[in-house]
Amino acid sequence: MPFRVIDHDLARIDVQSRTVTKYFSKLGTSLFASAVSPDKNSIWIGATEAANAIAFEPNLKGQFIRNRLVHLSLLNDATTLISTDFPAQNQMGKPATSIAQPMSLTYHSRKNQIWTAGFASDRLGIFSASGEFLFSIDLRVDRDWRWTSQSMRGPRGLAMDHRRDQLYVFNKLSSSLSIVDLNTNQLISEIPVSYYESMSAEIRRGRGHLHDSRLSGNEASSCASCHIDGDRDGLAWDMGDPNGDMLTVIGANLSVHSTTPRPRVLHPMKGPMTTQTLWGLAGGEPFHWRGDKPSLESFNSTFVTLLAGSEQDPESIGDLAQYLKSISLHPNPNRNPDDSLKSSVEGGNPESGLRLFNLHQNHCAVCHAGPRGSDNNLDLPLEVGSTQPVKTPHLRTVYQRRHFNPSPGGETLSGFGLGKDGTGHSLPIVHPYILHELFLPQQFLDVAAYVLSFDTGTPAATGQSITLHAENRKIIQQSGILNSFTQWAQSGKCDLVAYGTLNDSIVRLIYDSQSGGFHDETESDQSLPVESLIQNVQMGDYLTVLCIPAGSARIHFFDRNQNNQHDVTESPQYIKIHKVNNRIILKTHGSGFNSYIGTSENLNGPYLPVYRSWTDELSDEIPLDLESDQQFFKIIYRSY
């Protein structure tokens, strides 16, 4: 290669001068977490290493990703790689299982141990300071549901409490907190963090199928090993199959305005292709670079051919498809908050680029049509300089993939460009189509600027925020920036909310476009205009005004369980206990979310919330059968 790909895995920063003093390389493909040893002489890192240098899917089956910890000595820069895939026997003599996607690390300083959370495998892995695997703790303890993806916890954060000898594990997918006794190394409790989840049950079940490494043959990999958090790993893979069959899909020569269906023959030796994001898939059928997957359910075979597991049942793969269709893309930061185009992006004029893009002679908009920037068609391969049929890719994430510069003698942050096989150059115009009206370099820059500003489907106002306090109140009032926020809300770009303190009181407010003011959580007729909102901010107040997705404000701020009753007026929760024949029935009433029932088969716990699985809500009626195995229960109250 005439260029060098920069491998800056870890940076050491001087916090006083705010400069990078050193880079460390060859630590892994995707790095998730780091922790400094108590003696400050070493760093532990959780990472995965991609095996994409190996060609062909049969060779990669069940072994395309390696999970590991990396020990980096700060004394001599020496690195030690420690596999977390099927480590040695644990201390109980039972085979240990994989710790997949180690996304959080912490030290048990008294025992000189490193603890890591395997996000994809729902296990904690415990290692000695020398890197020896000691034992693992399974966080997925639902009886009868231990091996189902809908019971995934997804441990993402660890906090060591040495005073209480407890470890707290934040589980992202189940919205719960697992508590481990550090004296016995046993799970002693699990507490819900959220009592109501706005996601539907099928979407929550599908989310588990994307991330669960237990669905693979060696419990070490999942779909999300390459599609990290549903996105992409930034790599190219050669998933060709030397023993595969030819495949025919249908396309049309739309670039020359022919709508006649034509067969596109796909060879099983497809060559290298870059990982595509799973965000924003809705409306993008057929899928893959070559359009060889007519639906998201068509990916079921991947659980066998690549993950070395088993195909999922129709309901499960359907849930996964529904989850993937629900994921939105981030707003494009190259657009103005009101979604208009900026005057300049990377030396080009997006407005001028839009005109050239839509000019029929250039044909850009002929294939890259519609809101996604794709007609979802497999056009003439020669038109895009390809040796095989390729589906027109959408343009919504081009701005995220601009780090490839193959200039001879240069350095590049990524080794892969915008083309299907990772080729390309610094401009987001990657194929040699005949562009009749693009003669000048500035015209190419203008079209590139527009492509880099392409609408992602999520308004650019989403996530915009400002925090008011006594020191900046007058500046914000004079700038009129909050008027812009209200205009975005009035035009339907977002919902506008405010939360924090006002007049030394905790408030949650929603902007009402009709009254032009903010309402409190009782949604009374009283409305607080923007000017009054600013003036009421006193010394010690901090009030954040935030744009959130349109239509979501009431659910997140006033009515979390969507029962048309304000959270502040919900009736308190209480529990009734009564006996029916040989059964004790516990039933909760009200919906104040101030308590839950935990049950256990052992007096000492762990006491777990009563869920059929973590995709269901807390049960409001819990039978305890006195004739079966003895059970214990606790009524656990929360304080806020």
CB atoms within 10 A of CB 53: 8
Whole-number pLDDT of residue 562: 73
pTM above 0.85, yes or no: yes
Q: Is residue 44 part of a domain?
A: yes
Domain count across the chain: 5
Q: Is residue 18 part of a domain?
A: no
For 11-45, the pLDDT digits (tens) are: 999 999 999 999 999 999 999 999 999 999 999 99
Q: Is residue 335 part of a domain?
A: no
CATH code of the domain containing 66? 2.130.10.10
**Please, are residues 170 and 153 in contact by the beta-carbon 8 Å criterion?**
no
Question: Is residue 588 located within the same domain as residue 503?
Answer: no
Residue 194 three-state SS: coil
What does the DSSP assignment read for 423-471?
A: ---SSS--S----TT--SHHHHHHHHHHHHT---SS-TTTT-EEEE-TT
Whole-number pLDDT of residue 190: 86
Residue 46 three-state SS: strand
Q: Domain boundary residue among 518, 548, 578?
A: 548
Q: Is residue 5 part of a domain?
A: no
Question: Is residue 169 located within the same domain as residue 214?
Answer: no
The number of C-alpha atoms within 13 Å of 591 and in the hemisphere containing its C-beta is 15
Q: Is residue 245 part of a domain?
A: yes
What are 293's two structure tokens?
């997957």
Q: Domain boundary residue among 164, 199, 234?
A: 199
Whole-number pLDDT of residue 597: 66
The torsion of the CA quartet 392, 394, 399, 402, rounded to 10 degrees, works out to -30
What are 279's two structure tokens?
């965000």
Whole-number pLDDT of residue 62: 93
Distance CA 519, CA 492 (A): 18
Question: Is residue 538 located within the same domain as residue 630?
Answer: no
Question: Is residue 433 located within the same domain as residue 487?
Answer: no
Domain extent, residue 183, equals 29-199
Show the low-confidence residues of the chain (pLDDT under 70).
87-96, 142-147, 195-196, 426, 432-437, 522-525, 568, 571-576, 578, 580-597, 609-631, 633-640
Question: Is residue 189 located within the same domain as residue 52?
Answer: yes
Distance CA 293, CA 627 (A): 52
CATH code of the domain containing 223? 1.10.760
Q: Is residue 46 part of a domain?
A: yes
Question: Is residue 520 located within the same domain as residue 608?
Answer: no
Question: Is residue 306 located within the same domain as residue 403?
Answer: no
Question: Is residue 168 located within the same domain as residue 118?
Answer: yes
Q: DSSP strand E in 119-216: where? A: 123-128, 133-138, 155-161, 166-171, 176-181, 186-192
Q: What are phi and psi of 586, to 5 degrees?
A: -105, 125
Question: Is residue 610 located within the same domain as residue 543?
Answer: no
Question: Is residue 289 located within the same domain as residue 374?
Answer: no
Respond yes or no on whether the N-terminal peptide bond of residue 102 is cis (omega within 30° of 0): no
Angle at 209 between CA 205 and CA 210, to 5 degrees: 120
Q: Is residue 93 part of a domain?
A: yes
Question: Is residue 213 located within the same domain as residue 191?
Answer: no
Please name which of 80, 63, 193 lies closest in space to residue 130, comparing C-alpha atoms. Answer: 80
Question: Is residue 187 located within the same domain as residue 220?
Answer: no
Whole-number pLDDT of residue 239: 97
Q: Domain boundary residue among 169, 199, 229?
A: 199
For 270-318, the pLDDT digits (tens) are: 999 999 999 999 999 999 999 999 999 999 999 999 999 999 999 999 9
Q: Is residue 3 part of a domain?
A: no
Burial of 460 (0-12, 13-18, 19+ CB in 10 A): buried
Whole-number pLDDT of residue 640: 38
Whole-number pLDDT of residue 376: 97
